[in-house]
Amino acid sequence: MPAERPVHSRRTVLRAGALTGLGLAGAQAAGASRADAAPASGAGYLVGRGLADATGEVAEVGMMGYGRFDQQAAGLHTRLRARAFVVADEASGRRVVLIVADSPMIFGSVHQAVLRRLAERYGDLYTEQNVLITATHTHAGPGGYSHHLLYNTTTFGFHRKTFEAVADGLFEAVRRAHDDLAPSELVLSHGTLTGASVNRSRSAFERNPKADRDHFPDAVDPLTTLLRVERAGRTVGAVNWFPVHSTSMSGDNRLISADNKGYAAYHWEREVHDVDYLSDGSPAFVSAFAQTNSGDMSPNLDLTPPTTPEDFARTRANGLRQYEAAAAQVHRPGVRLSGPVDSRLVYVDLSDVTVRPEFTGDGRTHRTSKPCVGAAMAAGSLEDGPAFPGFEEGENPFWDAVSDSVIYTVSPELAQAQAPKDVFVPIGEMNRVYPWVQERVPVMLVRIGRLHLIGIPGEVTICAGLRLRRTVAGIVGADLDDVLVAGYANAYFHYLTTPEEYDAQQYEGGSTLFGRWQLPALQQTAAELATALRDGTDLPLGPEAPDLSGKALSLQPGVVLDAPPVFRAFGDVLVGPRENYRAGERVEVVFAGAHPGNDLHRGGTYLEVQRQESGGTWRTVADDGDWATRFHWKRDGIAASRVTVTWDIPQGTVPGTHRIVYHGDARSVVGTLTPFTGTSPAFAVR
């Protein structure tokens, strides 16, 4: 097995024939080897699929999303994956790359790093003009991988190991997709999914014009879209778009997790198919669950944040709903795509855009402004998890007065552009001293046949997304359902609301950094991209974002030394399993461990659940990428670590003798890493 392939022992060597007869969507979704992937007549596309591990640090690193200093990672629930699809038009030779990463955000730092890696390997084949990188926005991923200080405050600075893991994982996913290119058909279909999302900012939504509100009668966007990849009549890959926040895991959770969208992809790939790679090295099936305009869409249907441990069940339930809605479309005819593959990207300095009257809605010219954090942003989204005490969504006159009179004075121009926001932090002014947030942002438009994706680097509410989609659809002549916002794309600028929603100054409006006219400015940009794409013309790249890699501050020291507990050795079993278990019970084993930050085991695993086969050999049946396993780390004294591995025995587990294996790496006082393995006593599953 090639060294760079993920280590999933039981899943890596099956042949295509072993996949027949699977469950839901199995006959169509079973993977086909390259030899079997005969092109469909007149397909016109080469498509490649790639899957890679993009998990960063899992211990003593701040988690990204809720903005909580106390949410420091202490283990791993599921690994974070990067899934890539390369689509090439055989007629024109043009190609695009779609990357969906189990990641909180795609920061400009990662965008630049992935493009550098691609340029080193492929020259100008993959550039900013045809690579769309998006995040699922899990709130249970490690942070510290931005070059802008605001996003590294809860992580005590920049974490290079996490940054490299994310960038390397995304690059490897593209490399594998490139190597997997083969004649394929693309089928586009749409469905409706309800009961998986709720509008967490209904009062702001209701301020929108009737034409917008009537498009979403339940104040949610129920559109679920599937782009499936077919070879020899079988579905071998799929990208689903559905808007809902990945906030099913609570702010009290301390385990790295891919949240609801990650579970949907994991379930389709590993629980339905139970195989990652075929014997020829190609992926059997790759499914990505991507975001669209999910800015005001919460998975918490009761509008209250989840709590631990109920968040695991809520994550799985929401992910299953997304999967079922996507998988149901596999059996529908859909529309077989044909036509051009094309894309455009420009950089826009959102702090200085003159918005023309045709986009402002009031017949007058307006301007965006330097970014400002509103008091409502500091309050957090109360439905998914509050942030700082003392702040409220809506009006915050006290903080507005304090900010304006004590901290700084808001200029008339800034006040006009940001009104009615209660400006809490003039973060654009702080950018003059040190880069806190990104102001020059990429905006992208991708076309694959009739499908159009608007790459927006932030969290777009459903009505803001609707206006962007209408703008593009009207210019390119596409059906509205075939034009989607690809949110969390290529960078991050927080939220994007309609001007009417902005006026409500709920969390989303307080987080729309560049003022009331930010959406009209981006509609103007989207119109320019759509016109260029329609007419086949080029656009100036615009003011590129600077490379800030030399300015990243790292404040948290790394691991200094590992030591086992007194009278113990690394890998010793401190608490062993029982002798017998049944399906549905939890196995728990505690080891004398080491800090998991010494080696991230990217592409590998910290743990294995093994079953004894005939002849005495051991076969891996689960690893740290599986839903049923959990890897807990805890510091024991100053230099010692306790590692607890749990396995919730799934229903249908083959009875037999099992054991838990832990893989660790210990750091000596001079910095040398020594791998070690701990193995539990055997136990029986009856």
Q: How many domains does the chain have?
A: 2
E-state strands within 282-340: 286-290, 297-298, 335-336
| Residue 183 pLDDT level (bands cut at 50, 70, 90) | very high
Taking 3-state DSSP, the helix, strand and coil percentages for the chain, each rounded to the nearest 5, stand at 25, 30, 45
Peptide bond into 306 cis (omega under 30): no
What average pLDDT does the segment 12-20 reach?
A: 36
Could you tell me the residue range of the domain that residue 638 belongs to? Answer: 573-685
Average pLDDT over residues 169-192: 98
Q: Do 482 and 581 sit in the same domain of this protein?
A: no
Average pLDDT estimate for 608-628 = 97
Is residue 191 a contact partner of residue 226, using CB atoms and an 8 Å limit? yes
pLDDT at 389: 52
Query: Whole-angstrom Cα distance, residue 286 to residue 9?
Result: 18
b/e per residue, 212-228, with b = 16+ CB within 10 A? beeebeebbbbbbbbbb
pLDDT of amino acid 318: 98
Nearest to 63 by CA among 84, 77, 83, 81: 77
Same domain, 175 and 59: yes
Nearest 10 degrees: CA dihedral of 206, 209, 214, 219? -30
Top mean-pLDDT range of 27-36, 49-58, 385-394: 49-58
Asked if pLDDT for residue 6 goes beyond 60, the answer is: no
Q: Is residue 121 part of a domain?
A: yes
Which tens digit of pLDDT belongs to each residue from 480-508? 999 999 999 999 999 999 999 999 999 99
Tell me: pLDDT of 168 over 70: yes
Q: How far apart are CA 236 and CA 228, in angstroms?
A: 8
For position 392, what pLDDT does the model report? 56
Of all residues in the chain, what percent carry a pLDDT higher than 90?
Answer: 83
Amino acid (1-letter code) at residue 328? A
Query: CA torsion angle for 146, 148, 152, 157 (degrees, to 10)?
Result: 90
Note whether 47 and 137 are same-domain residues. yes
pLDDT tens profile 97-150: 999 999 999 999 999 999 999 999 999 999 999 999 999 999 999 999 999 999
The C-alpha atoms of residue 372 and residue 388 are separated, in whole angstroms, by 17
pLDDT over 50 (residue 61) = yes
C-alpha–C-alpha distance, residues 516 and 502, integer Å: 6
Which of 30-44, 291-305, 545-559 is predicted most confidently? Answer: 291-305
482: CB partners within 8 A, 6+ apart: 188, 450, 451, 452, 473
Quick check: is 547 in a domain?
A: no
Using pLDDT thresholds of 50, 70 and 90, give the confidence band for residue 35.
very low
Interacting residues of 161 by C-beta distance below 8 A, sequence separation 6+: 56, 57, 597, 600
Does residue 143 contact residue 165 with C-beta atoms inside 8 Å?
no
- 486 shares its domain with 579: no
Instruction: Determine the pLDDT at residue 422.
Output: 87
Six token digits for residue 184: 């394929």
**What 3-state DSSP class applies to 585?**
coil
| 299: its two tokens | 């998975």
Percent of the chain with pLDDT over 70: 90
Q: Is residue 513 part of a domain?
A: no
- Domain assignment present for residue 667? The answer is yes
Q: Please check whether residues 485 and 597 belong to one and the same domain.
A: no
From the list 133, 243, 193, the residue with the least C-alpha distance to 468 is 243
Asked, for residue 678, whether it belongs to a domain, the answer is yes
Asked if 481 and 591 sit in the same domain, the reply is no
Average pLDDT over residues 148-174: 97
3-state secondary structure at position 327: helix
C-beta separation of 512 from 496 below 8 A? yes
Handedness of CA 471, 475, 477, 482 (dihedral sign): negative
For residue 421, being part of any structural domain is answered with: no
The two structure tokens encoding residue 228: 């499936």
Which pLDDT score is estimated for 182? 96
d(CA 575, CA 589): 6
Average pLDDT in the chain: 91
481 and 598 in a single domain? The answer is no
At 444-489, the pLDDT tens digits run 999 999 999 999 999 999 999 999 999 999 999 999 999 999 999 9
Helix or strand holding residue 651 (H, E) = none
The separation between the first and the last C-alpha atoms of the chain, rounded to the nearest angstrom, is 33
Residue 287 lies in a domain: yes
**CB contact burial 540-573 (16+ within 10 A = b; e otherwise):** eebeebeebeeebeeeeeebeebbbbeeeebbeb
Mean pLDDT across 606-632: 97
Retrieve residue 564's tokens. 């086992």
Q: What is the pLDDT of residue 390?
A: 52
Residue 361: CB atoms within 10 Å: 18
463 and 603 in a single domain? The answer is: no
- Compare 45 and 18 and report the one with higher pLDDT: 45
Confidence at residue 407, expressed as pLDDT on a 0 to 100 scale: 54
pLDDT average, residue stretch 626-646: 97
Query: What average pLDDT does range 30-53 have in this prediction?
Result: 61
Contact 267, 320 (CB under 8 A): yes
Measured distance CA(585)–CA(582) in Å, rounded: 6
Full-model pTM: 0.92
φ, ψ for residue 337, nearest 5 deg: -75, 145
Band of residue 387 on the pLDDT scale cut at 50, 70, 90: low
Q: Domain for residue 519, yes or no?
A: no
pLDDT of residue 411: 81
Distances (CA, A) of 109 to 122, 441, 548, 556: 20, 12, 8, 19
Q: Of these residues, 298, 343, 381, 641, which one is catalytic? A: 298
pLDDT at 166: 98
Q: Is 291 helix (H, G, I), strand (E, B) or coil?
A: coil
Are 297 and 245 within 8 A, CB to CB? yes
Q: What are the angstrom distances between the C-alpha of 484 and each of 9, 131, 226, 453, 471?
A: 38, 16, 11, 5, 11
When computed from its CA atoms, the radius of gyration of the chain, rounded to whole angstroms, is 25
The reported pLDDT for the residue numbered 454 is: 99
**pLDDT of 640 higher than 70:** yes
**Helix, strand or coil, per DSSP, at residue 352:** coil
Question: Do 74 and 182 lie in a common domain?
Answer: yes
Longest CA span, the chain:
80
How many Cα neighbours within 13 Å face the side chain of 460? 29
Using CA atoms, how far apart are residues 114 and 132, in angstroms rounded to an integer? Answer: 11
CB neighbour burial string for 410-422, b if at least 16 within 10 angstroms, e if fewer: beeebbebbeebb
Whether residues 588 and 465 fall in one domain: no
For 526-552, what is the mean pLDDT?
Answer: 96
Same domain, 123 and 260: yes
Q: At residue 107, what is the residue type? A: F
Q: Is 275 within 8 Å of 345 (Cβ atoms)?
A: no
pLDDT at 12 > cutoff 50:
no
Instruction: Look at 424 and 150; give whichever has higher pLDDT.
Output: 150
Residues 6+ apart with CB under 8 A from 62: 69, 71, 72, 73, 142, 143, 144, 154, 155, 156
The pLDDT score that the predictor gives to residue 36 is: 33
Retrieve residue 136's tokens: 């699922």
- Residue 596 to residue 255: CA distance in whole angstroms: 13
Give 213's contacts (C-beta < 8 A, 6+ positions apart): 205, 206, 219, 463
Helices (H), 208-290: 210-215, 259-266
Query: How far apart are alpha carbons 404 and 395 in whole angstroms?
Result: 15
Q: Which two tokens stand for residue 384?
A: 């998914």
298 is catalytic: yes
Mean pLDDT of 530-548: 97
- One domain, residues 482 and 626: no
Q: Which residues contact 77 (CB under 8 A, 6 or more apart)?
A: 140, 255, 256, 257, 312, 627, 630, 631
Mean pLDDT computed over 351-363 = 96
CATH number at residue 578: 2.60.40.2300
- Strands 131-135 and 341-349, by their bridges, are unpaired
Calculate mean pLDDT across residues 297-307: 94
DSSP 110: H
